[in-house]
Structure 1
């Protein structure tokens, strides 16, 4: 008798994969001032850390279109966890042993960013390939674990630093590294299926000639941009709008944003069988526009903060929803499609906060004007969804 495969183990491994990505993306920014004070690193150099992180992710997303199918999902996803763990461990070690501490930090960032990029490319198709019912809901629930991971990292780190002090940050870094290290063993033993059988998936050139593919890329860029424009500036917006400390700003801004984003993904995961995904995303796009306008135009701080928090709910299903729509509309897209979608989402998430910051600087550091300009991203998402619904309402064969 053939032993039944335990796909729930695969699901748990993928959940922890997104928690690992949340650790990689959200922990090091909490240490920026610590790096400045401990190693004498200037803020202009510290600003390179997130840039290096996201550029490395983008390069891995692009490269993954070439090597993932050749090497295999399991090898790549286990490597993603090992790279993430090694990067975090080296974050605690290299700045102390290298003559230039900043170079040690960058080496560590590149390593865990490579792991993070692989996670982003691989985890969604691994879940999509599992024989689960209600794939839309599963995808939304899966991506909610990035939100809960982000909340856990911010809250857990804040509590740790309050109790044990910032001087013990290396110990906490090693503790966070245990998550991907443990999860590597999960991915070694869990069942992993192929998304598309050999010879049936579209190659890169076929995808690039498909008009539908470029529309899906646009949706993904707008999804990443709509999420990151508010998420990356939530702390600064809360501090400036409400006049609170950085600690309170971190908790009230990014944490509230992530909580509402996670809640929306869980709710859609539970209700997805009763909802039309495209219509749900359209509603979320409209809500996102309202939230950006509320945050940027309101003169009452608490209303502005409410707009910031509810923006998390509005962007919650955009990223996983676009992935689900892509799987439905382009079922032969394969790994290359998922890699390009990850690349597009990361591109939107990398460029949009920079646009917000630059526009704000043009108007004397007025962050509200920058966020008002960011309303263009959910508006473009709405337009893309309308075109998708009218022009590509049938599944691509």
Structure 2
């Protein structure tokens, strides 16, 4: 019998997270451009981030009910197709409709469906593969979101520098090629079931489990801590720190992404030697410090450094939260992963909206908006500390 090539499965899931990074982070690089060329205010631009994560949130909830019935493969292929259509649509839809904002919002909705499916499905697909050190594999998987995030910024900055930011629509078409290619990968790679039929917990059982709600709170804190600064880092560096767009993007959001990927890759390699809950609690405290520095400093270089270091602090939060939850509720199945993604997206929708709204109310002061984000790492740290003993018990068993 031919041996299954799970490396092909890993490649497809790695690219899946790269595609999610494109979906989440390409548009925010254009916020200032949309603000100037289309006259869209920061409050409206914040709604695009909220729309993206709320759409993912709805997809997460639906996935909890239907993915096991339909199967992983058809759903993950649909994810690639909708991602490609939404990203490519950015090149056309804003100018095809009377309101450019509506055109952009439609594209965000389409590729957010794909991103939501990727988020729910790639983690359990990798978890179901017969690998040792599942926590390390999960962290390494999520590091590809970071490398995709950094790649989006670096390649986009080079493209804008050479061809001009006015040609951003061509770049949207280029980015859409990756999910088209990954459709083939997911059509061919081996995909296993996470939990055998009939053995996984139902939605009702999960909702009645007390510790499950702590997982939800943990993921809300993780999502908000990560996404709030990631989504606004480009605009924050340009408007609040008064540095050029190229400098701001490369040092701010790109530094954020690289340090976040480094954190996840290091845990993926050395995670077996580190206590996950201690690492996450210390990371949350570091994240709080980064938000404080970014929110109050008057020195641009300190603001940029704090953005980059914040990436390292949030790196373990999302994959670590998934690892803690799946190790305690081993029969959680697809429904657990879907609800965790839902909670992370809820945090990811609330966080950027709070930052953008506070900024607008205080006269488009993005620094004050960033300062308001200190509540999110506090939520994460408290949740980790509450879960620490349970994780130690289940990790030993």
Normalised TM-score (structure 1): 0.92
Residues 64, 335 of structure 2: 8 Å contact kept:
yes
Aligned equivalents of 1:295, 1:36: Cα separation in 2:
23
Q: Where do residues 34-113 of structure 1 align in structure 2 (5 Å cutoff)?
A: 40=38, 42-43=40-41, 46-97=45-96, 101-113=100-112
Go from structure 1 to structure 2 and tell me whether the alpha carbon gap of 1:227 and 1:189 turns closer, same or farther (over 3 Å shift). same
Aligned to 1:216: 215
Residues 330, 395 of structure 1: 8 Å contact kept:
no
Q: Matched residue of 2:62: which SS?
A: helix
Go from structure 1 to structure 2 and tell me whether the alpha carbon gap of 1:96 and 1:244 turns closer, same or farther (over 3 Å shift). closer
Aligned length: 395
Go from structure 1 to structure 2 and tell me whether the alpha carbon gap of 1:111 and 1:194 turns closer, same or farther (over 3 Å shift). same
Aligned equivalents of 2:103, 2:361: Cα separation in 1:
34
Deviation of residue 96 (structure 1)?
5.0
Aligned equivalents of 2:303, 2:40: Cα separation in 1:
32
Aligned equivalents of 2:239, 2:159: Cα separation in 1:
26
Residues 140, 320 of structure 1: 8 Å contact kept:
yes
CA deviation string 1:146-185 (max 9, x = no partner): 1111111121122112222334333322211110000010
| Relative contact order, higher structure (CA 8 A, sep 6+) | 2
Deviation of residue 288 (structure 1)?
1.7
CA deviation string 1:61-93 (max 9, x = no partner): 111111111111001001100111122233323
Moved more, 155-164 or 23-32: 23-32
Aligned to 2:265: 266
Aligned equivalents of 1:154, 1:63: Cα separation in 2:
31
Go from structure 1 to structure 2 and tell me whether the alpha carbon gap of 1:294 and 1:42 turns closer, same or farther (over 3 Å shift). closer
Normalised TM-score (structure 2): 0.92
Go from structure 1 to structure 2 and tell me whether the alpha carbon gap of 1:34 and 1:230 turns closer, same or farther (over 3 Å shift). closer
Aligned to 1:307: 306
Aligned equivalents of 2:282, 2:119: Cα separation in 1:
26
Q: Where do residues 203-242 of structure 1 align in structure 2 (5 Å cutoff)?
A: 203-240=202-239, 242=241
Q: Alignment RMSD, CA only?
A: 2.4
Moved more, 41-50 or 234-243: 41-50
Residues 51, 349 of structure 2: 8 Å contact kept:
no
Go from structure 1 to structure 2 and tell me whether the alpha carbon gap of 1:30 and 1:238 turns closer, same or farther (over 3 Å shift). closer
Aligned equivalents of 1:341, 1:27: Cα separation in 2:
24
CA deviation string 1:169-212 (max 9, x = no partner): 33322211110000010001101011111100001110001011
Residues 32, 235 of structure 2: 8 Å contact kept:
no
Q: Does 1:337 align with 2:336?
A: yes
Residues 94, 105 of structure 1: 8 Å contact kept:
yes
Deviation of residue 24 (structure 1)?
1.1
Deviation of residue 363 (structure 1)?
5.1
Residues 94, 104 of structure 1: 8 Å contact kept:
yes
Go from structure 1 to structure 2 and tell me whether the alpha carbon gap of 1:322 and 1:46 turns closer, same or farther (over 3 Å shift). closer
Unpaired segments ≥5 residues, structure 2: none
Aligned to 2:165: 166
Moved more, 154-163 or 261-270: 154-163
Moved more, 199-208 or 91-100: 91-100
Aligned equivalents of 1:366, 1:168: Cα separation in 2:
29
Moved more, 292-301 or 256-265: 292-301
Unpaired segments ≥5 residues, structure 1: none
Go from structure 1 to structure 2 and tell me whether the alpha carbon gap of 1:35 and 1:228 turns closer, same or farther (over 3 Å shift). closer
Deviation of residue 138 (structure 1)?
0.9
Aligned to 2:187: 188
